[in-house]
Amino acid sequence: MISKEMEKAFNDQINAELYSEYLYLSMQAYFSRLNLQGFVNWFTVQVQEEHAHAMGMFDYVHERGGDVRLMAIDAPQTDWESPLACFEHVLEHEQLVTSKINALMDVAENERDRAALSFLDWYLKEQVEEESNVGGVLATLKLIKDDANALLLLDKDLAARTFVQPVIG
């Protein structure tokens, strides 16, 4: 059985994961307006991943006998100065999510909930991968600067990304 404190912490994190999905959907729309379909694809995959992350936690709370309480999702930013500025925002957001996962793990430690700690270990590893992937795109965008041809080459590379349903937990 999940404790009430752990249940609340998971519900807060589910909301954060759904906000991430919503933010990346907004970024997908931004790149669609720029007609950069590879970036659109990259964010389409991000949206799917964030949804899977939220649903993994959703299912976990139910499996542990808890109640999922969905909350309002804040409106995300909808426009950025440039693709570079957008990906700087992505990295900042992923670092925030990492801090939230760490805080959730702190609650699990305080509650001595080893099942939650074991479950959350996958999310922590996923965050390391997320930050690394975003950092790679960001580094390339910094090299590109204002080179439209290089941006189009990166766009073509990002079009190859595919969603793989994660096995969570």
**CATH code at 4-158:** 1.20.1260.10
Span 132-146, pLDDT tens digits: 999 999 999 999 999
Q: Name the residue ranges covered by the structural domains of the chain.
A: 4-158
- pLDDT value of residue 103: 98
Q: What is the mean pLDDT of residues 91-106?
A: 98
- pLDDT value of residue 29: 98
- pLDDT value of residue 44: 98
- pLDDT value of residue 39: 98
Q: What is the mean pLDDT of residues 41-49?
A: 98
pTM score: 0.96
Separation CA 157–CA 169 (nearest Å): 30
Check pLDDT > 90 for residue 41. yes
Check pLDDT > 80 for residue 169. no
CA 78 → CA 26, 44, 45, 89, 134, distances in Å?
A: 6, 15, 18, 12, 19
